[in-house]
Amino acid sequence: MTSMTRRLPAVLAAAALSLSLSACSISLGGPGGSAGPGRASQAAEASAPEQGGSADAQGGAAPGAPSSQPSPSEAAVPGSASGAERPGATAAADSELWQRLKDTALRRSRSEGGDMTLQGQQCGYIEGDIATLTVAEDASGGIMVEHVEQLTVKGSHVIVMVQDVGRVSITGSEVVVAWVGRTPVVEDSGTGNATVAFDQLDEGLYWTCS
Domain layout of the chain by residue ranges: 53-200
* Angle, alpha carbons 114-176-56 (nearest 5°): 50
Phi and psi at 52, nearest 5°, equal 75, 20
- For 96-141, how does the pLDDT look when each residue is reduced to its tens digit (9 = 90+)? 999 988 988 888 999 988 999 999 888 899 999 999 999 999 998 8
Q: CA-CA distances (angstroms) from residue 29 to 5, 25, 38, 42?
A: 5, 12, 9, 9
Are 185 and 79 contacting, i.e. CB atoms less than 8 angstroms apart?
A: yes
Are 106 and 49 contacting, i.e. CB atoms less than 8 angstroms apart?
A: yes
DSSP element (H, E) containing 15: none
- For 139-193, how does the pLDDT look when each residue is reduced to its tens digit (9 = 90+)? 988 899 999 999 999 999 889 999 999 999 999 999 999 999 999 999 999 999 9
Percentage of residues of the chain with pLDDT beyond 90 = 42
Mean pLDDT of the chain: 70
pTM over 0.75: no
